[in-house]
Amino acid sequence: MILKFTILLIFFALLVSMLFGRRCFVGMKSWRRSNKVDEETLALMRSGQDKESFIERIPGIAERHRVQMKASFGERLSYQKSDLARLDSVIDKAWGENLPENIDGLVLTFGAYFGETLRRLRGGYWDFDAERGYCLHDVGGIATVYPFEKVSKRFKDSKEHSLALFYKVLVKSVEKTA
């Protein structure tokens, strides 16, 4: 009986490894350990209090996320549009349809990186909307985007809210209006 269980366990581990790759399986564990977000920053994001302090922290949060993606998943991010497909891929491989336990921390770090990538590629400035939270105004000179809200939807509703697809649609919208 123990031998059958051991064989089944080994088979399952090989199957997971083949489907998702060793890096993803190991990466998710190291992500949990090293991607601890301080509670003060999370509280600032949730509450909208001391907006300036939170907005000043966003580039640093994004940069730590970039470094952590390399360490945990082997993804080299550089604030380019191709990074958005990589974020989608990591979310799919590491969490899939399973909503992560630490969703707020993931929304904070992925959202900061997503927003900073948009800002660096298309311009804009961070601000706070009392109804919907932190946003980027004047992206591409015309659009207002809610990166944290978009990332939250990406985790909760999966592929329907692809970050890479969102960027493509945003660029087309901006170009049409320009």
pLDDT in the model for residue 5: 52
pLDDT at 16: 46
Nearest of 31, 134, 34 to residue 90 by alpha carbon: 31
If one counts the domains in the chain, the total is 1
Q: Provide the percentage of residues in the chain whose pLDDT is more than 70.
A: 79
Is the residue at 29 inside a domain?
yes
Contact 148, 45 (CB under 8 A): yes
Least confident of 7-11, 136-140, 155-159: 7-11
26 pLDDT tier (thresholds 50, 70, 90) = very low
Q: Tell me, yes or no, whether 147 lies in a domain.
A: yes
pLDDT of residue 178: 64
The model's pLDDT over 62-114, given as tens digits with 9 standing for 90+, comes to 999 999 999 999 999 999 999 999 999 999 988 887 887 888 999 999 999 99
Whether the pLDDT of residue 40 is over 60: the answer is yes
CATH number for position 71: 1.20.120
SS3 letters across 13-63: HHHHHHHHHHHHHHHHHHHHHHCCCCHHHHHHHHHCCCHHHHHHHHHHHHH
Cα separations (Å) of 15 from 10, 28, 96, 159? 9, 17, 16, 23
- The answer to whether residue 15 scores a pLDDT higher than 50 is no
Residue 3 domain-assigned (yes or no): no
Within a domain: 68: yes
Instruction: Give the structural domain span for 27.
Output: 21-177
How high is the mean pLDDT of the chain? 83
